[in-house]
Chains A and B, each alone.
Chain A
Amino acid sequence: MYKLESKNVDFFYGTSQALKNINIAIHPNTVTALIGPSGCGKSTYLRLFNRMNDLIGNTKINGQVLIDGDDIYAKGVNVDSLRKKTGMVFQKPNPFPKTIFENVAYGLRVNGITDKKFIEERVETSIKQVVLWDEVKDKLKKSAFELSGGQQQRLCIARALAIQPSVILMDEPTSALDPISTAKIEELIYELKSKYTIVIVTHNMQQAGRVSDSTAFFYLGELIEYSATKELFTNPKIERTQNYITGRFG
């Protein structure tokens, strides 16, 4: 069964159509890269999976978006608990103005978990998962703002992992980071794949090539091409894809 799926999805901001008839099916434990020029709809598409687009007024969606085969836009779906299935990582590292510990514990606390021991264990596991533990274990009570940008982004990933989602949505997670921090995040994406299904929006072709199994190329709200990353980058079927990945436009 597919982990994530969209069937004939149209999405509108007011009267302007941001996504046109998007059909994508994503296998579990894979990394899927969404690429395309600015404004092509790739971020909008990513945000369908945790219904983050709901926050914007006056939007409309047609078609079906499925996680584990369930339509997440069906009537009666509880959006708050739906969002626990997915963890989201943003363009700029955005730790909360709390301590390092409380950042990771936040997702547990808002979901009603009060067991101190449990929270401590989960926080430690999550920070270890993002290979940050050795760097922060002595300053868990310090503000998250004291960390470097790359560390902050890994902390944000740990924050997302703490509630044990099965999907991680990443919206250009390295665009604000230096090359070394970027490499660390990419390595992490590779490791996390064994446990999670990852969808990543990126402007960086090399990054898409390095980290993803499949790549979807969006242009003006349409899905132009979707195939195995190797295939798409070495042998694109559509000329526009070819032009984009070789840098002739974009």
Chain B
Amino acid sequence: MPLIDENKLTKSKNRNQKIAFFLFASVGYFIVTILVAILSFIVYKGIGVINWNFISQMPEEGMTKGGIYPAIIGTLYLVSGSMLFAFPIGVLAAIYMNEYFKDGIIKRIVRMMTNNLAGVPSIVFGLFGMSLFVNKLGFGDSILAGSLTLGLLVLPIVIRTTEEALKAVDDTFRQASLGLGATKWQTTRRVVLPIAFPNIITGLILSIGRVSGETAPILFTVAAYFLPKLPSSIFDQAMALPYHLYVISTSGTNIEESRPIAYGTALVLILIVLICNLIANGLRKYFSKKVKMN
């Protein structure tokens, strides 16, 4: 008699495989269902108020009527402002960390700090931004102060994703370039960065998503409760979508009546993030292709 019953073994293997597949598939579908549920809920509740006036007009009657135009513009300003600050600095810092900084205890400490920075609660960034940018540097409640605060918040994300992108570049590319007598900077600029760039754009995508949705850091640094005009300079206060949503849902003049506007605002916020991601994704694809062509 054989030691192992082949038929029995095959059966039990197949059963185990089926159970495992079923579990994985259910978890997968469950997560997708939640996502779809949230999105459809927001779309269902919010689509009714969305029209051209809603996105092009000022809020009216204690924010229970009218549009959310200034909040949209404010959010766009904050997203661009914070990216202008965080993206170049983060990418340069990551280049230094990955290409130049010699391995050792100091590098480990710096990396640990960067990672910890990513874990600091956003309200703490808000408080820090208020005391440094708003008060100490005297920017006041302004787009500048808000953008810098949001920029600080996403700096670790930009640094980390850029570092990962640089790490993913095969070392033999660097060696081949250096082997031809190129300097380290020539190698980084002409070979490493172009290869890493599509992945660096991923960092940008993640940061944009994060920045446009953050409420706490802008609370004390830029956000206006109600400001029925557009900012005219970076030293002006501005409304912003996430804060507007918070305001009309918790401390508006008539919370029940402004509920549809809240959902509409949420929908617009999601759409803006989606559009930003699509643009960034397009850029990513464009640069991947360009990398192969040049």
A84–B174 CB distance below 8 A: no
Q: Does A87 contact B (CB under 8 A)?
A: yes
Also in contact, A94 and B173, with CB within 8 A (given A99-B293, A102-B294): yes
A contact patch SS: mixed
B179–A50 CB distance below 8 A: yes
A52 to B187, CA, bound (A): 14
A80 to B101, CA, bound (A): 19
A160 to B180, CA, bound (A): 7
A156 to B176, CA, bound (A): 9
Other-chain residue from B170, B171, B177 in contact with A106 (beta carbon distance below 8 A): B177
Query: Among residues 75 to 119 in chain A, which have CB atoms less than 8 Å away from a CB atom of chain B?
Result: 80-81, 83-84, 86-88, 90-92, 94, 96-99, 102, 106-107, 110-111
A98 to B178, CA, bound (A): 16
Other-chain residue from A55, A97, A163 in contact with B292 (beta carbon distance below 8 A): A97
Q: Which residues of the partner chain B approach A81 to less than 8 Å between Cβ atoms?
A: 181
Other-chain residue from B172, B181, B194, B291 in contact with A110 (beta carbon distance below 8 A): B181
CB-based nearest A residue for B186: A110
The size of the chain B interface, using a CB distance under 8 A, is: 26
Smallest CB separation, A245 vs chain B (Å): 28
Q: Does B15 contact A (CB under 8 A)?
A: no
Also in contact, A145 and B292, with CB within 8 A (given A92-B172, A110-B190): yes
Q: Does B143 contact A (CB under 8 A)?
A: no
A110 to B190, CA, bound (A): 9
Q: Which residues of the partner chain A approach B104 to less than 8 Å between Cβ atoms?
A: 57
**Which among B170, B172, B176 has the greatest number of chain A C-beta atoms within 10 A?**
B176
Q: Which residues of the partner chain A approach B294 to less than 8 Å between Cβ atoms?
A: 97-99, 102
B191–A83 CB distance below 8 A: no
CB-based nearest A residue for B294: A98
Q: Which residues of B contact A (CB under 8 A)?
A: 102-104, 170-183, 186, 190-191, 194-195, 291-294
Q: Which 9 residue pairs spanning A and B have beta carbons closest together?
A: A107-B180, A110-B182, A84-B181, A88-B179, A97-B291, A94-B172, A90-B172, A143-B292, A110-B186
Interface pairs (18), CB distance under 8 Å = A55-B171, A58-B103, A80-B183, A83-B178, A87-B180, A88-B175, A96-B173, A96-B176, A97-B294, A98-B294, A102-B294, A107-B180, A107-B181, A111-B180, A111-B181, A143-B293, A159-B176, A162-B180
